[in-house]
Amino acid sequence: MLVIHLKRFSFSRSMKHKLETFVNFPIHDFDLTKYIANKNNTQRQLYELYALTNHYGGMGSGHYTAHIKVSMEGTDNRCMI
């Protein structure tokens, strides 16, 4: 399992704001092979996205949503919490 946390807020001495930069990433076969410290390992490091959270709103308030991929007997069902 791999967990990636993206910093989505910017802070300076007097200001705080939410970053609105679009993040694009693959859902299937996320290849992180070139970032692995052990370069002698020839096996590709591929990951599948199975969950993410989103924050909607500003710095003072907002809502979080979670999207989770749930597989049951070979089917791909999606669940929103």
List, for residues 20-47, the tens digit of each pLDDT value. 888 888 888 999 888 888 777 778 889 8
pLDDT for position 81: 45
Give the Å distances, CA to CA, from 13 to 16, 19, 40: 8, 16, 44
Assess if residue 2 is contained within a domain: no
E-assigned strands of the chain?
9-11, 16-18, 30-31, 46-47, 51-57, 62-72, 75-80
Assess if residue 15 is contained within a domain: yes
Predicted confidence (pLDDT) at residue 80 exceeds the cutoff of 60: no
Domain that holds residue 52: 9-80
Coil, strand or helix at 28: coil
Assess if residue 53 is contained within a domain: yes
Assess if residue 38 is contained within a domain: yes
Give the Å distances, CA to CA, from 64 to 38, 60, 68: 36, 13, 13
Q: What pTM does this model have?
A: 0.60
